[in-house]
Amino acid sequence: MHLFSSLSIIVLTSAGLIFAYSTARSLSAMADRKTVTYTFNGLEDWEKHNQTVTKIIKEDTGVEHWRANRALPPVSHPPPLSFGAIEKLKDLQGVVVEAVVETELK
């Protein structure tokens, strides 16, 4: 009897194909997203829009928490966002959204 029977080879091949497909989908989804930072024009805008901004980002990414500094208003670094979510944030008056420029380390 061989170390790998035909059934084992089929199972391993299927698992590999499923992994490759799910990885490709994840990478494809990330290609449709952009890394941004956001802040607010002032403390009043932060108080007015912070809950809305948080809701938009949570719905878009499924992530509960992300980096932000302790300044008031804070500068926040959410996970990569879809273009739709970025537009929703930009539509809120007083919310400042800036693209993060990716640089290559040499």
Q: What percent of the chain has pLDDT over 90?
A: 64
Per-residue pLDDT tens digits for 46-69 = 999 999 999 999 999 999 999 999
Per-residue pLDDT tens digits for 81-105 = 999 999 999 999 999 999 998 777 7
pLDDT exceeds 80 at position 45 = yes
Q: Phi, psi at residue 9, to the nearest 5°?
A: -65, -40
Question: For position 27, what pLDDT does the model report?
Answer: 46
Burial of 50 (0-12, 13-18, 19+ CB in 10 A): middle
- Domain boundaries along the sequence of the chain: 1-31, 33-99
* CATH number assigned to the domain with residue range 33-99, chosen from the 4 options 3.30.70, 3.30.1480, 2.60.120, 3.40.50: 3.30.70
